[in-house]
Structure 1
Amino acid sequence: MAELNPWHIHFARLARYNVWATARLLDAVAPLSDADYRRDMGLFFKSIHGTLNHLLVGEHMLWYPRFARGVSPKLELDAEVEPERDRLGQALKGGAANWLPLIASWPAERFDATLDYTTTKGVPVSLPFAATLAHVFNHGTHHRGQITAALTALGQPCPELDFAYCLHEEAAREKAA
């Protein structure tokens, strides 16, 4: 394991938030009927299912291999890779948990380097590593926000997903320990 520096601490915190928010969102989505879950809600990826599926594709099937192995899979952003909602939820939870050990494994200087990859359209790109990693977690927050808006439109309760609530829960657990 690499020596932890402020980058490790920051991105580990974002990765823990991603795990926390993903679980809370999936709990909120679970009671939906299949019709509501798959209904076109006017989201970029149409439905709650389409948006969750996009999160699996983008975060775990495209970005994770780029960061973990330096490979750029060829997948469309709207490819339905898991039609079964329970398996999709489990894949999202498992994928979110994978980021924590990956982040801890990087040497400190990795965060100041670049991430070189190929886009889904085959274009080679080189971007700042830390900023691109921030994009991965920001992207998840963006799409979870779309799903919470869809839940509200469906008249369903919406989970509180603000990062500060995750931090409050972490602080309370640390205090109790």
Structure 2
Amino acid sequence: MSELGHFVLFTRYNRWMNEKIYDCAATLPPEEIAKDRSAFFGSILGTLNHLVVTDMLWMKRMISHPASALVREELEALEQPTALNQILETDLAALRARRDRMDDLIARFVAGLGEKDLATAFSYRRTNGEAQHKLLGDVLLHVFNHQTHHRGQLTTLLSQAGKDVGVTDILMLLPDAD
């Protein structure tokens, strides 16, 4: 599989896992979703909000990359998050709508990339204002790894609430080899 093929797979995995997490969380009452469980972002809701916030931040940063042309108008329309722990939504259904929109935007962004785009650098500023200049492929790898990291935390938080997300392995999306 090509490097770009891996990112297409990551978008499928990202969407699949986000659907599983939100489906599982939706079986809990709102007070359980908002309950502080001493996680880095406090609660299930706080962690879910963090993932949407960071995807919004990263996608807005990618506006400066030439490959963003297909989704630039939508990226520009995204609100600019103000903090990594910002609560965008307290209602799970409303947050899920934002999550679904982000997953769709990320998938369309990746679908519009060519292999050469991954090796093209772009410049952006971190939330502290520090200038950065990174390769798109490296940044995308971070974005998907970050999602996986926090979804691992979410499976633990959901388990603490008595819920099992089920199988989370990317292997479930891989075809058998001939």
Taking structure 1 as the reference length, the TM-score comes to 0.85
Match of 2:166 among 132, 151, 159: 159
Secondary structure of the 1:45 match is coil
The residue aligned with 1:175 is: none
Does the C-alpha gap of structure 1 residues 166 and 68 become closer, same or farther in structure 2, counting only changes over 3 Å?
farther
Map 1:1-177; keep pairs closer than 5 Å: 6-59=2-55, 61-70=56-65, 73=80, 75-167=82-174, 171=175
CA-to-partner distance for each residue in 1:26-80, whole Å, 9 max, x for gaps? 1111111111100111111000000000011001x10112224558x46210111
Residue 8 of structure 2 contacts residue 107 of structure 2 at CA under 8 Å; is this kept in 1?
yes
- Normalising by the residue count of structure 2, what TM-score does the alignment of the two structures yield? 0.84
Instruction: Give the Cα–Cα distance (whole angstroms) in 2 for the partners of residues 83 and 38 of structure 1.
Output: 8
CA contact (8 A) 2:47 2:150 kept: yes
Give how far 1:82 is off. Answer: 1.7
Indicate if the aligned counterparts of 2:10 and 2:144 stay in contact, CA closer than 8 A: yes
Distance in 1 (CA, whole Å) between partners of 2:4 and 2:161 is: 39
Unaligned runs of 5+ in 2: 66-75
Structure 1 residue identity aligned to 2:59: Y
Q: Give secondary structure in 2 for the equivalent of 1:115.
A: strand
Structure 1 stretch displaced more, 82-91 or 106-115: 106-115
Instruction: Tell me the number of residue pairs that the alignment of Structure 1 and Structure 2 aligns.
Output: 164
Question: What amino acid is the match of 1:36?
Answer: E
**Percentage of pairs with the same residue:** 30
5+ unaligned residues in a row in structure 1: which ranges? 173-177
RMSD: 2.0
- Matching residue's letter, 2:12: R
